[in-house]
Structure 1
Amino acid sequence: MSELRELQSNEELENVWDSTTEKPTLLFKHSTTCPISAAAFKRYQSFIESADDRVASYMVKVIESRDVSNQIAAKTNIKHESPQIFLLRNKEVLWHSSHSKITVDAINNALQRSE
């Protein structure tokens, strides 16, 4: 099972960004006040429960860690949405999605295409 870790600082984000050269990394941007985000986060957690250690799993609470959320948008050059998920590898975004398009199948498909 992959371990889900929360990013709360830009320094942590930089460390994760650098570690994407070691293995694929999922990064989920979550709004703790939004029911759509809560539903997508449950689907992300379902994926993580069935995932092995071949993928690293992170999340950012966009309200509580606004600066980290903004830094993700700046680093990826992708407009902020919430909920939003990114598949990162070698410091690049291989795939991203948002809202109801965040599903276990979509995440699995993105990972398979990245291998």
Structure 2
Amino acid sequence: MNWNKLQEPQQLQTIKDESAQQTVLIFKHSTTCSISRATLDRLERNWKEEEMKNLKPYYLDLLSFRNISNEIANTFDVEHESPQVLVIKNGEVVYHNSHFGIDYKSLLPFAKN
């Protein structure tokens, strides 16, 4: 799985702009949380590049970039959780989930353009 690192608040505008052409996924990960680690591992194990080629994945390390997580909550009007996944299309969140609700099969429909 080829993650794009989300490390600058300005990237949120880029993500909104990109999402007009390609659906974007943001995965918010807490590096000290076992649930977050298990969820990330499960997603990465199941990820198939060919199936997900139309979904651009971004990875946010919550401990290093909590300010960006707060900005995501404000920008997309989605309450912060960890781990959390957001799917953005045309600048809007079309799907979000957290903890063990994050599932590869639930994300698959968003990779179909």
CA apart distance, 1:79: 0.7
Alignment CA distance shift 1:48-1:14 (3 Å): farther
Task: Give the counterpart letter for 1:4 in structure 2.
Answer: W
Q: 2:94 maps to which residue? A: 94
Q: Please, which moves more after superposition, 54-63 or 8-17?
A: 8-17
Q: 1:35 maps to which residue? A: 34
CA apart distance, 1:47: 4.2
Q: 2:78 maps to which residue? A: 78
Task: Give the counterpart letter for 1:27 in structure 2.
Answer: I
Q: What secondary structure does 2:78 align onto?
A: coil
CA apart distance, 1:97: 0.3
Length-normalised TM-score, structure 2: 0.89
Structure 1, residues 67-87: CA drift from partner, whole Å, max 9, x if none?
111110001111100000011
On the 8 A contact 2:52/2:108 being kept in 1, the answer is no
Q: 1:108 maps to which residue? A: 108
Distance in 2 of aligned mates of 1:84 and 1:91? 18
Q: 1:11 maps to which residue? A: 10
Moved over 4 A (4+): none
Task: Give the counterpart letter for 2:66 in structure 1.
Answer: R
Distance in 1 of aligned mates of 2:74 and 2:43? 23
Distance in 2 of aligned mates of 1:78 and 1:39? 22
Structure 1, residues 10-56: CA drift from partner, whole Å, max 9, x if none?
01222122111011111111000000000111122234344442110
Distance in 2 of aligned mates of 1:65 and 1:10? 9
Count of residues in correspondence between the two structures: 112
Distance in 2 of aligned mates of 1:45 and 1:25? 16
Task: Give the counterpart letter for 1:101 in structure 2.
Answer: G
Length-normalised TM-score, structure 1: 0.87
Q: Percent identity?
A: 30
The structure where helix makes up a greater share of residues is: 1
Distance in 1 of aligned mates of 2:7 and 2:28? 12
- RMSD of aligned alpha carbons: 1.8
